[in-house]
Amino acid sequence: MWFVISAGGVLSKREFLDELRQNKICPLMVFSRDDKTFVPFFLDPYVGLEFARRNTPKTDCIGVVNLSEDEQKNLLNSGFELTQLDWPCKREVSVHVLFLEREIETIVSGFRKT
């Protein structure tokens, strides 16, 4: 399962990659509906990247990351709902920072040139 990450428009590409790798910070893209906050996930990482492209400004750094079962359980225990999306639909998104105990490996082909 692939989860979308975004710098939220506040970090450069270099700063974003440093936060991911060195500080183990994972800025997950989330959306709200009916007083619930959802963390979308995708079976195909490239659909996840298209979701990120569609829902963020072109200047934002984006990517996808695979989260472990324990990390997914932590999200659920924190009150988030995981929802599978099969299409890069339009949503009002925001970023939730997830702190991990490991270095993050991402698919970087989704990062845009700034």
Q: Model confidence over 42-97: pLDDT tens digits?
A: 999 999 999 999 999 988 889 899 999 999 999 999 999 999 999 999 999 999 99
CB-based contact 89:38 (threshold 8 Å): no
**pTM attached to this predicted model:** 0.86
Domain segments of the chain as ranges: 1-8+12-28+53-81+95-114
The DSSP symbol for 78 reads T
* Residue 51, token pair as written in the block: 């979701």
The two three-digit tokens of residue 14, written as one number = 């270099």
Smallest Cα–Cα separation from 4: which of 92, 84, 63, 91? 63
Six token digits for residue 28: 């997950």
pLDDT tens digits, 15-54: 888 888 888 888 999 999 999 999 999 999 999 999 999 9
